[in-house]
Amino acid sequence: MFLPSDSRDGTAVLDLPEGSTVADVPIRLGIPPDMPRVVLLNGDDAPGERPLAPGDQLALFPPLAGG
């Protein structure tokens, strides 16, 4: 997968430079930019340009289909 080797239970803690945005995280994890995904920041939909703050929780999921 794309999580760092020290991740646990599908969760990783990342140290990011000040000024990092939501869009920087998938790049840092090596997720291809054209791979579809759902992104939540602290439980809410988040645009890629939104800046991150210390303690933010970012969730990345593949899109889900249902019927």
Read off the pLDDT of residues 17-50 as tens digits, 9 standing for 90 and up.
Answer: 999 999 999 999 999 988 888 999 999 999 999 9
SS3 percent helix, strand, coil of the chain, rounded to 5, is 10, 20, 70
Distance CA(43)–CA(30), nearest Å, equals 23
Residue 63, pLDDT score: 81
Contacts of 36 (CB under 8 A, 6+ apart): 62, 63
Whole-prediction pTM value? 0.84
Residue with tokens 């800046």: 51
Q: List the CATH number of the domain containing 52.
A: 3.10.20.30
Q: 20 is in which domain, residue-wise?
A: 1-67
* Strand-strand pairing, 58-61 and 38-41: antiparallel
Overall domain count for the chain: 1
Partners of 59 in the beta sheet? 40
